[in-house]
Structure 1
Amino acid sequence: MDATHDQAGQRPIDRWFASYSDDHRNQTNQHIHVVAVPLILWSVIALLWCIPVADGGLFRPGIWAAMAMFAAWLFYFRASRALGIGMAAVFLAMATLTHVLQQSLGTRGLLVTAIIVFVLAWIAQFVGHSKRYEGRKPSFFTDLRYLLIGPAWVLSKLYRKLGLRW
């Protein structure tokens, strides 16, 4: 038995997705998540990008975001190589977008934009989980690791639409 499968032959990521899906049964809530989760992910990357670094040192703007993305990527790659590759592409696209926005808006403009997106996307998430739609608490209230599972879950939905295995 290898480390990526349990005794029943199921990968841990499959169990994470099954549990996450159980908290996201409502179609409207799922649609909200497909939009809001990537926005939250981008806003966190952008917020980390805005952490100041010393001028002329080894660190450059975005280093804190890059380190966080790398740590998250390791989690995804260990869970599923296919998801790891996809999340690497997502991180690269988000980092590129963040860099371009910082160049055009400045760090302060990027920070304000990231805060606004973060707040609005979380409001959307909680609306999706409200009694009007899902009626279940967000998964991360049970385990903070679900904050990492959400983006991979959204990516897995895209993989399924494209007929790709994860």
Structure 2
Amino acid sequence: MNAATERPIDRWFTSYSGDHRNDTNQWIHVFAVPAILWSVIALLWCIPSPGTWFQPGFWAALAMFAAWMFYYRASRPLGFGMLAVFVVMAWFTRWLYLAYGTKQLLTLAIAVFVVAWIAQFVGHKIEGRKPSFLTDLTYLLIGPAWVLAKLYRKFGWKY
């Protein structure tokens, strides 16, 4: 693909991949990025919903919808894949919320968030490069799509 026909998502992935060349760092990201994504969803789930019209998870749903719009605009196949990821993570989070309550969900989400970020920074120490999001916060959205795109490529699916 030449620069004139290259999609913005391809440019994002090329740049992101440049900061993630080391195999160990890539493997860390394959596990830590989805863990961070889930922990953010769970943290947002724990924020009380406004009024009586909204259910627990309102803020998480709002954030997932906004992120999904970003992914869908960047690539329809990735958008649908991220929608599936969000649905699974929302169901899992709801199950944990109903089974254990807000306090335990919050505790677990914080623990996963901290451990996954430590893993990310260890991976970047091994890589010898700073995390991409330190140059542009958009990379916080690119990371999950990059991981999903790796899965798509493994199955021979186009994104």
TM-score range, shorter chain: over 0.9
| Counterpart in the other structure of 2:123 | 128
- Secondary structure of the equivalent of 1:106? helix
Inter-partner Cα distance in structure 2 for 1:51 and 1:62: 8
Normalised to the residue count of structure 1, the TM-score between the two structures is 0.93
Per the alignment, residue 145 of structure 2 pairs with: 152
Q: Does 1:164 align with 2:129?
A: no
Deviation at 1:7, TM superposition (A): 6.4
RMSD: 1.4
Of residues 83, 88, 105, the one that matches 1:88 is: 83
1:30: which partner in 2?
Answer: 26
Is residue 66 from structure 1 mapped to residue 61 from structure 2 by the alignment? yes
Q: Secondary structure at the match of 2:117?
A: helix
Matches of residues 1-20 of structure 1 in structure 2 within 5 Å?
Answer: 8-20=4-16
User: Partners in 1 of 2:3 and 2:116 — Cα distance?
Assistant: 38
C-alpha distance in structure 2 between counterparts of 1:46 and 1:145, whole Å: 20
2:105 to 107, 110, 114: 110
Aligned partner letter, 1:43 = S
2: distance between equivalents of 1:103 and 1:78? Answer: 33
**Identical pairs, percent:** 70
The whole-number CA distance in structure 2 between the counterparts of 1:156 and 1:50 is 29
**Gap runs ≥5 in structure 1:** 1-5
- What's the offset of the Cα at 1:105? 1.1
**Structure 1 residues 31-82: Cα deviation after superposition (integer angstroms, max 9, x where no partner):** 0000000000000000000001256x11110000000000000000000000
Supply the distance in 1 between the matched residues of 2:42 and 2:136 (Cα, whole angstroms). Answer: 24
How far is the alpha carbon of 1:123 from its aligned partner?
Answer: 0.1
| Distance in 1 of aligned mates of 2:66 and 2:30 | 22
Q: Deviations over 1:120-142 (max 9, x none)?
A: 00000000000xx2000000000
- What TM-score does the superposition give when structure 2 sets the normalisation length? 0.97
Q: Quick one: which of 105, 114, 119 aligns to 2:114?
A: 119
1:107-166 deviation line (CA, Å, top 9, x unaligned): 100000000000000000000000xx2000000000000000000000000000111000
User: Separation in 2 of the partners of 1:7 and 1:19?
Assistant: 14
Amino acid at match of 1:107: T
In structure 2, the CA distance between the partners of 1:160 and 1:7, relative to structure 1 (3 Å rule), is closer
Which amino acid in structure 2 is aligned with residue 16 of structure 1?
W
